[in-house]
A and B are shown apart, each in its own frame.
Chain A
């Protein structure tokens, strides 16, 4: 009776929760007089930064003895499913983390509390504005990160290939990747997932646009788009491992790079701390572009649940977590995602740390950022684009056909 079980456990448990969950919407124990408890749910401390978040919580509680913060950390892969059901069931935390892509959906449907009298001047303006919807501030930026090109210096030396520079273009990367790939020793030259996240970026590096300016139509099936998709797809099997080799499975790329079998790796600066123990010398550089440079930037924000009974305390906490000096210090010292503060002089200590040597690249990349294109039916769009590109990478479709199909499907999503 799996259908029945499924219906019970999965599909409509959420509904049952709405029916009976209203009373328990904020079911934390009533705090003692004058003391409030703020429940906070996040994904970004998962897998390595839990201790750093605890340090920030402790500092906040020391400064605000009347507020206790209860942290719940959920892996990114499950986070948005969990958040969705929690919001539907009225059991969502008082404050939680949202990435920029998901912020729009939540702001639009009334599940977020508007923040009052926020000191906007402490934040980088572009990041602060990203969490504004229809003129109302529903969140503060929490952190940001970007993607750079990681490379294994030892492998470059071995192959006698010059190390990448900020002036590199796609052609330089392709030529180097071909020389670095050695199928006998199972060393791959390059790794860049064939996915939505990489595609909108290489599209920008090639001067194309994913959506039209008012976001009503997809425009990525252009000559620039085809060339960009080919740049990604042509790597597969040639200089980059295929799906059958394991590409795409969790941690595959991390293991490949840390085991010294991958020369170049397109990934985010959140990997810095995980690579601290690498047994070889590595560095980073701004990603190569084609007609122009463009580096993916991701922003996380902090919001207050509209149903929270401790909205004031919750706002205090997210303000502290986003902009306090304690947070900034902790984030920089642990090479976590970067703090979104306006005062860049406070970011100096980030550059003083030893590895990678070229930390400047993180800030250089910020000069030409590209944010993910966002629509209301975000996940469906991402899945569609990734699926079509994967079909092209596996040789089941031509790149031209894959992009045409993806574009018509995304346009379908924009209409509904």
Chain B
């Protein structure tokens, strides 16, 4: 009887198991194999052992792209969390047109990254973009955005945070609605003001949602690619090149698939390490009610 049930379970798993194996597990394992070779995609593979890894770890470009990715994550995460939390708090009130506003803020999340990046590239055009025109109106000289190495990454961070705001909002909104109202009522009776209620009740009880948002955003943040590729192409002068963008260039521009595969595995290790640390660390600050 149990074996028969298991058979059915496996059968219903097939639709997702087949693509998972074909497009995830097989490529993952084979990329591990490729990472031990020198391979330009068109010549036969050449065994090089761990050379790709040692070359990458001593290559200044690798350090640079990891640094840029880190800057991206550090800039993006607080922005998207604070913004998403603010939106969630406001849209958790009884407002007119609340459903409409929620849908509107969620709209960028379901929009294609290429579209969003192109629109932002246009908005942030250093010469005649809307953002710099508005800044100019107030007498602030607008930065060079994607033509200035110091501003290219902030430009990407800004547009990414704008796009993902809605996602964070929805998760936190769900978290807010699961906080029982009697806790607030009890706090009111005790004379807690709005500020105290926010810090002592809302934030701690929201921590499971916060944890989820932080883990997901960090993983996505380390894999940032589309918006960089479309908005800056990693430039100017490589100032906004990120890890995945570098992996792409190594493979498809420069025919260095071995090093690209090795870099993917290094990135995987970094993300795994960070995620494990987060899961371990959650005991200290995440409160499951």
Give complex CA distance A9, B223 in Å. Answer: 14
Stretch at the interface among B9-17, B104-112, B166-174, B256-264: B256-264
Which residues of B lie under 8 Å from residue A291 when comparing CB positions? none
Q: Determine whether A85 belongs to the interface, using a CB cutoff of 8 Å to chain B.
A: yes
The reply to whether A8 and B24 contact each other, CB–CB distance below 8 Å, is: yes
Across the interface, A14 reaches (CB within 8 A) one of B33, B248, B257, namely: B257
B144 CB within 8 Å of chain A: yes
Q: Is B53 an interface residue (CB 8 A)?
A: no
Within B248-268, the residues touching A (CB, 8 Å) are 248, 251-255, 257, 260-261, 264, 267-268
The answer to whether the Cβ of B71 comes within 8 Å of any Cβ in the partner chain is no
Contact A84 B41 (CB under 8 A): yes
Residue contact B24 to A7, C-beta cutoff 8 Å:
yes
Q: Are A396 and B27 in contact (CB under 8 A)?
A: no
Does B79 sit at the interface, judged by CB under 8 A? Answer: no
The size of the chain B interface, using a CB distance under 8 A, is: 45
| Contact residues, B7-50 vs A (CB, 8 A) | 22-24, 26-28, 30-31, 33-34, 40-43
Interface digits, A263-307 against B, CB 8 Å rule (1 contact, 0 not)? 000000000000000000000000000000000000000000000
**Chain A hits for B144, CB < 8 A:** 244
Q: Which one of B89-97, B194-202, B204-212, B236-244 is at the A interface?
A: B236-244
CB-defined contacts of A387 to chain B, threshold 8 Å: 235-238
Contact of A84 among B27, B148, B235, B252 (CB under 8 A): B252
Contact of B271 among A3, A243, A390 (CB under 8 A): A3
Is the pair A390, B27 in contact by a Cβ cutoff of 8 Å? no
Interface pair B147/A244, CB less than 8 Å apart: yes
Q: Is the CB of B268 within 8 A of A3?
A: yes
Residue B126 lies at the interface, judged by CB distance under 8 Å to chain A: yes
- Cα–Cα, bound, A19→B34 (Å): 12
A255 to chain B, nearest CB (A): 15
Q: Range of interface residues on chain A?
A: 35 or more
Q: In the complex the two chains form, is B147's CB within 8 Å of A243's CB?
A: yes
CB atoms of B225 and A2 under 8 A apart: yes
CB pair B42–A109 under 8 Å, yes or no, is yes
In the complex, A121 has a CB within 8 A of chain B: no
Of A135-143, A175-183, A375-383, which stretch is located at the interface? A375-383
B105-153 at interface with A (beta carbon < 8 Å): 125-127, 144, 147-149
Cα A109 to Cα B27 in complex, Å, equals: 24
Given A12-B261, A243-B147, A394-B147, check contact A4 B24 (CB 8 Å): yes
Contacts of B127 in A (CB 8 A): 242, 244-246
The reply on A88 being an interface residue by CB < 8 A is yes
B247 touches A11 (CB 8 A): yes
B residues near A242, Cβ cutoff 8 Å = 127, 147
Q: In the assembled complex, which residues on chain A have CB atoms less than 8 Å from the CB atom of B264? A: 3, 6-7, 11
Distance (Å) between the CB of B124 and the closest chain A CB?
A: 11
Check B252–A15 contact: CB distance below 8 A.
no
Pick from B23, B238, B271: contact of A8, CB below 8 A. Answer: B23
CA distance A111 to B23 in the complex (A): 27
A391 to chain B, nearest CB (A): 5
A16 CB within 8 Å of chain B: yes
- Say whether A110 faces chain B, with CB atoms less than 8 Å apart: yes
Residues of A contacting B34 in the complex (Cβ-Cβ under 8 angstroms):
12, 15
Answer yes or no: A404 CB below 8 A from chain B CBs. Answer: no
CB-contact partner of A110 in B24, B43, B149, under 8 A: B43
Which of A11, A13, A105, A391 meets B261, CB within 8 Å? A11
Do B24 and A377 touch (CB < 8 A)?
Answer: no
Most buried by B among A15, A88, A105: A15
Q: Does chain A have a CB within 8 A of B220? A: yes
| Cα distance, A22 to B47, chains bound together (Å) | 21
Q: Is A106 an interface residue (CB 8 A)?
A: yes
- Interface residues in A327-371 by Cβ distance below 8 A to B read none
Option from B22, B33, B219, B254 in Cβ contact (under 8 Å) with A377: B254
| Residue on B nearest A84 in the bound complex, by CB | B41
* Chain A, residue nearest B237 (CB): A391
Q: Does A10 reach chain B (CB closer than 8 Å)?
A: yes
CB within 8 A of A2: which of B220, B235, B237, B253? B220
Q: Does A87 sit within 8 A of B, measured CB to CB?
A: yes
Q: Which residues of A contact B28 (CB under 8 A)?
A: 4, 7-8, 12
Would you call B125 and A244 a contact (CB within 8 A)? Answer: yes
Taken together as a complex, chains A and B put the C-alpha atoms of A245 and B129 apart, in Å, by 11
Assembled-state Cα–Cα distance A347/B282 (Å): 76
Which residue of the partner chain A has the closest CB to B26?
A16
Q: Which 7 A-B pairs have the closest CB atoms?
A: A109-B43, A8-B23, A12-B27, A244-B126, A88-B41, A2-B223, A244-B127
4 new A-B contacts, CB < 8 A, other than A9-B23, A12-B257, A84-B252, are A11-B247, A12-B28, A15-B33, A111-B43
